[in-house]
Structure 1
Amino acid sequence: MKRKLISVFALISLYLISFKLEAQESQKNLMGIFTGGEAVHHIGWFMSPEVRSFYNKSQFKDNKSLLVGGKLGLMINHSFYFGITGYAKIGDMRYEKQETTVGVGMGYGGLFIGKSFLFNEIIHPRIGLSGGYGGSSEYLMKDNVRGANHVAGFMYIEPELALEINISNHVRLVTGATYRIVNMSNFELLSTGDLDGLSINLAIVFGKF
């Protein structure tokens, strides 16, 4: 867990270092919270449908599964992202527990902040961080039929590292990786670490950048 927290703090530090350390008095405004004091000279928007392949090393039979979702929000100064995000798992994750098959469904969402570097280049890096709340349904399976169900909530944080490709003035292709860290859960059958893991992502970003 310490390694996970160190990774998150390192990403946040890199994100903050990318901002200007000082800002002129005339530049201070609400948007400056997200731009590190940089003057806001452009506000656009973005919408980003996304597919994720989630890799899990815990007790599940299948160590990878598919999630769909995306992001929606504001694009500030052509490079700062601020918005909402949400994802849901397609199908069930299953594992054996005391000769009983347990199925698990999952969905989560929250806030997203991100920054693109060298955004005028055709291919350029982006870092991001999202966090919020999710829910997991745990149920017993018998003959592929769902039985007793337990719904558990959890908090999560998810750092991101990605590459953006400028397709046109209003379209970007994004591919990268995120690592979800789940905490403060009230699972009945799962443990907190069961929903931690790496995701490989592919998204298309539409908007006024």
Structure 2
Amino acid sequence: MYKLKYIVIILSWSMVSLAHAQQYVDKSKNDEIKSLIGKEKDITGFGNLDFCVGDVVDQQALIIGAYGGILINKNVMLGVGGYGLATESQFEGFDPENEEIRELNLYGGYAGMLIGFKVFSKEIIHLSVPMIVGAGQLDVSDHNYFELPSGDNDFTLESTSFFVFEPSALLELNISHHFRLGFGVGYRLIRGSTLENLNDEDLSGYSGVVSIQVGKF
């Protein structure tokens, strides 16, 4: 319930800020009709590299990802992105073949569509709210399943696909007209996984985010 409350707060703030971000004003004419894309058609490209540290199966893990797309009127973001586990996430799980508890490893990632917006993006420090909506794949492996001389002892015990929704809130710093740094938090909501050893709550969680953005701002 607490996690759902935080998500509702983030989405509510997002909708209010998005309505503000969508307004376009042609300063040359005070009576110009406001629209998402103005006469100048201010559409530029951008790319982000994200480093996320947060809970995965009750332990700290590093998730590295990237997203990119177009920035409309310096406020609205549209694009695609993908993220993957960069560190080993180990946990104790049940091996049905050997019928025993063993040390298992989690691998995988997710990708999807990016939507988001920026508030007061012309200011040196401003708010950025990117959101990833998509799907992913996770595998649970046993590194010591086989005892082979070659050392290739891995065996995938189970796999699952899942739905993911990950909103983030970042404070961005304009370093230059083509480079920005962002610092903030995100929440990874996973639903629809079918693993025997782990559930959706084990895979969902908060994370701290450091973001590097390049583009034409």
Q: Which of the five TM-score ranges fits, normalised by the shorter chain?
A: 0.7 to 0.9
Within-5 A mapping of 1:1-209: 2-18=1-17, 19-20=19-20, 37-40=35-38, 41-56=41-56, 58=58, 63-97=59-93, 98-142=100-144, 145-209=153-217
Is contact 1:137–1:151 with CA below 8 Å preserved after alignment? yes
- Specify the alignment match of 1:33 in structure 2: none
- For 2:5, the aligned partner's letter is I
C-alpha distance in 2 between matches for 1:22 and 1:123: 19
Equivalent residues, number: 193
Deviation at 1:99, TM superposition (A): 2.9
User: Could you state the TM-score of these two structures normalised by the residue count of structure 2?
Assistant: 0.80
Deviation at 1:65, TM superposition (A): 1.2
C-alpha distance in 2 between matches for 1:134 and 1:12: 22
Deviation at 1:57, TM superposition (A): 5.9
Is contact 1:175–1:203 with CA below 8 Å preserved after alignment? yes
Deviations 1:181-201 (A, max 9, x none): 110112232111111111111
- The structure having more radius of gyration, on CA atoms, is 2
Identity over aligned residues, as a percent? Answer: 26
C-alpha distance in 2 between matches for 1:22 and 1:121: 17
User: Could you state the TM-score of these two structures normalised by the residue count of structure 1?
Assistant: 0.82
- For 1:77, the aligned partner's letter is N
Secondary structure of the corresponding residue to residue 113 of structure 1: strand
Is contact 1:15–1:127 with CA below 8 Å preserved after alignment? yes
Deviation at 1:8, TM superposition (A): 2.4
Deviation at 1:21, TM superposition (A): 11
Deviation at 1:37, TM superposition (A): 5.0
RMSD, aligned CA: 2.5
Secondary structure of the corresponding residue to residue 62 of structure 2: strand
C-alpha distance in 2 between matches for 1:23 and 1:199: 31
**Residues 137/5 of structure 1: CA separation in 2 closer, same or farther (3 Å cut):** same
Stretches of structure 1 that go unaligned for 5 or more consecutive residues are 25-35
Stretches of structure 2 that go unaligned for 5 or more consecutive residues are 25-33, 94-99, 146-150
Deviations 1:1-24 (A, max 9, x none): x33333323322222222159989
C-alpha distance in 2 between matches for 1:50 and 1:108: 14
Is contact 2:21–2:118 with CA below 8 Å preserved after alignment? no
C-alpha distance in 1 between matches for 2:178 and 2:22: 31
Is contact 1:153–1:187 with CA below 8 Å preserved after alignment? no
